[in-house]
Amino acid sequence: MMLSACSSVRQTEKWFRHGKWYNGMKLYPHVFVNRHEFESQYNKNKAWWDSAFKFLKETDFDKIAPGKYPLDSNNVYVNVTVGPMRDFENTKWESHRHTIDLQYTYKGTEKMGVAPVSKARVIDPYNEKKDVAIYDADGKFYLTAPDTFFLFFPGDAHRPNIKVNEDNAVKKIVVKIRYTD
């Protein structure tokens, strides 16, 4: 069994490094991203992911207005926001069961946290209508970079939108991709 697990890890790393899924896009997943889960979800719904990556590759984010942009019915959509981030104490840990968050900070900087849902304490139970649960957690925090996106799967509690400085011109793209069991 150990040999099989090592083989699976090597296969995932090979898939990730080969990078056909990039399709010429100049953005890369943050180092914390669960590559095995990413590979699994990509292979289950390649067309959804390809539409998300095509949007990220071809969209002029200087010109796109804030709003919601459907890419594939209810399977993939994009939320574009512009505005200030929040003070740390005004942000919350959250997770989703039915969607994956691909979060990309195009302009400005924010801090994002990530923690395993399995180690988080539920504050507000899962709300099916909003597809969100709220937690208290201890996690790791990262600063956004202009060439990096974050992927948050259902097992990832995340705490986005944390203000780093007084920059009020943060432009953020969040691609919501339906999660498949």
Question: pLDDT per residue over 49-80, tens digit each?
Answer: 999 999 999 999 999 999 999 999 889 999 99
Q: What confidence category does residue 4 fall into, taking pLDDT thresholds of 50, 70 and 90?
A: low
Tell me the pTM. Answer: 0.92
As a whole number of angstroms, the distance between CA 47 and CA 73 comes to 12
Question: Residue 19: is its pLDDT beyond 90?
Answer: no
Sign of the torsion angle spanned by Cα atoms 138, 126, 161, 91: negative
Strands (DSSP E) contained in 47-139 are: 67-72, 76-83, 93-95, 99-107, 110-116, 121-127, 132-136
Whether the Cβ atoms of residue 177 and residue 77 lie closer than 8 Å to each other: no
Specify the pLDDT at position 167.
67
Provide the percentage of residues in the chain whose pLDDT is more than 70: 95
Specify the pLDDT at position 2.
47
Average pLDDT, the chain: 92
Pick 130 or 26 by higher pLDDT: 130
As a whole number of angstroms, the distance between CA 10 and CA 71 comes to 32
Question: Residue 127: is its pLDDT beyond 70?
Answer: yes
Residues near 98 by beta carbon (within 8 Å), at least 6 away in sequence: 131, 154, 178, 179
The C-alpha angle with vertex 71 and arms to 128 and 173, in degrees rounded to 5, equals 75
Question: pLDDT per residue over 153-179, tens digit each?
Answer: 999 999 999 999 876 779 999 999 999
What percent of the residues of the chain are helix, what percent strand, and what percent coil, each to the nearest 5? 25, 40, 30
